[in-house]
Amino acid sequence: MSGLNAGVAEENKVGENGRSKVVLTESDKKRLFLVAALILVLLAGVSIALGSIHKAPLAACEGIVLLQNRYTCLNNLAISTSNASVCSKLPYPYNDSCVVNVASNTRSIDTCNATRGSAFYSNCVSNISASTSDASYCGLITNSSSSSYCAYRVAQESSFDNVSYCGLMKDAYYASQCYALYYYNRATSSSNATYCTYIQNTTNATVLYALSSNGRAFNYSSFNISESLYLGIINATPRSYCYYKVAVLSKNPALCSLAGGTIGELCTYSLYTHQNTTTNYTNLNASYLCANVPASFKDYCILGVQTAKAANTNNVSVCLAIGVAQEEYSCISTLASRYNESSYCSYISNSTARSACEISATNRTA
């Protein structure tokens, strides 16, 4: 009994605070030690696994043998994880290009700082400025031309609806286009030609190109020529082009005289032919309809009327009455394509033009 009591006393010794405390045996201590060690091992394994998961994509990219594929992998990884530090694994200039991509994706101007001193910095800042519509960032670019281009891109994103952006452009190349586009858009959207007076009246191919929607195909000539190039050939100015567009949009022939020159004649031609549109194609009289059209556009007018009449009445003889071989070919080709009938092409004597007509008729889609 005394041995039992002694054992109980050993298991339940009283601590200094008066509470009993459990005293572990050597076997208990060994078991706890093993459990603790096992837990540490498991935690370490989890940590290693997580680290491996994090590093696996990077390691996979770096393990790619083909350089271009490796660079693409690293670039895509940096973008997908929004982690510009991955870009440091790339050599120049791929590293800076990578940083620009990450910055543009995250719209983080601070990320661009990694490209300071390189040619990529201005492009990085311009991308952020344009995507956030914040032209103030453009002031970070020291080069005048690059800074102006940055502001131009911001203005472009707003469809040149804010003239204050134009004032930020120190480079006349960009500023002239910006101001012209601002006033041109005002004039055409409101059909108010007064805005045209603020646009330069001297020939400028660059501004004309900007105003004419980057050279859409021009249809007033049988040649494959862009509108902006044609405008340059006839010595149109940005202001006269503005008058021309507002006149056509508002159907106001009085503005054609303000355009002046050949573009003024083009203006009159456009308005006159549009006003005389009719659905009675059988009775169309090209000589009558085109009588008051400026001389330089009379042939185009006659061709247009005859082609419309032939195509809508399915009558090839109308094309043959034009009297000018190339214009007849054009009319016949339109007719053949309209009705998907290559037999009309036999009226064309020129073999090259005839082949083109047959291809046009055969390949016509419904």
- Give pLDDT tens digits for 246-285: 999 998 988 988 998 888 887 887 776 555 544 566 776 7
Does the residue 204 lie in any domain? Answer: yes
Q: Which of 231, 258, 275 is the last residue of a domain?
A: 275
Which domain-ending residue is among 259, 275, 291? 275
- Statement to judge: residues 214 and 304 lie in one domain: no
Which phi and psi angles does 83 have, rounded to 5°? -120, 100
Rounded average pLDDT over 95-124:
95
Taking the C-alpha atoms of residue 308 and residue 314, their distance in angstroms, rounded to an integer, is 10
| Banded pLDDT at 235 (limits 50, 70, 90) | confident
| pLDDT attached to residue 237 | 93
Domain edge (last residue) among 240, 260, 275: 275
Give residue-wise pLDDT tens across range 12-65.
Answer: 444 444 444 455 566 665 565 555 555 554 554 444 433 433 456 889 899 999
Residues 175 and 270 in one domain: yes
Same domain, 209 and 228: yes
pLDDT of 289 > 80? The answer is no
Do both 305 and 339 map to the same domain? yes
Give the count of alpha carbons within 13 A of 164, CB side only: 4
Residue 359 included in any domain: yes
Please answer whether residues 162 and 150 qualify as being in contact, where contact means their C-beta atoms are separated by less than 8 angstroms. no
Same domain, 345 and 356: yes
- Report which of residues 129 and 38 the model is more confident about: 129
Whether residue 136 is contained in a domain is answered as no
- Identify whether 271 is part of a domain: yes
Q: What are phi and psi of 11, to 5 degrees?
A: -80, -25
Q: What is the mean pLDDT of the chain?
A: 81
Q: Is residue 90 assigned to a domain?
A: no
Whether 294 has a pLDDT exceeding 60, the answer reads yes
| Same-domain check for residues 242 and 306 | no
Residues 252 and 305 in one domain: no
Percent of the chain at pLDDT > 70 equals: 74
User: 216: which DSSP letter?
Assistant: P
pLDDT at 30: 58
Instruction: Give the count of domains, the chain.
Output: 2
Q: Check whether residue 286 and residue 227 sit in a common domain.
A: no
Higher pLDDT, 124 or 231: 124
Query: What pLDDT sits at residue 264?
Result: 86
**Residue 39 to residue 194: CA distance in whole angstroms:** 82
Residues 287 and 335 in one domain: yes
**Residue 227 banded pLDDT, cuts 50, 70, 90:** low
> What percentage of the chain carries pLDDT values higher than 90?
51
Query: Does 331 score more than 60 pLDDT?
Result: yes
**pLDDT at residue 337 is higher than 50:** yes
Kindly tell me if the per-residue pLDDT of 3 is higher than 60.
no
pLDDT of residue 152: 95
For residues 309 and 241, give the distance between their C-alpha atoms in angstroms, rounded to a whole number.
31
Instruction: Indicate the range of 61-70, 237-246, 297-306 predicted with least confidence.
Output: 297-306
DSSP state, residue 317: H
Residue pLDDT, tens place only, 168-219? 999 999 999 999 999 999 999 999 999 999 999 998 888 988 888 643 333 4
Asked if residue 317 and residue 253 are part of one domain, the reply reads no
> If you average pLDDT over residues 124-136, what whole number do you get?
96
The domain containing residue 345 runs over which residues?
277-366
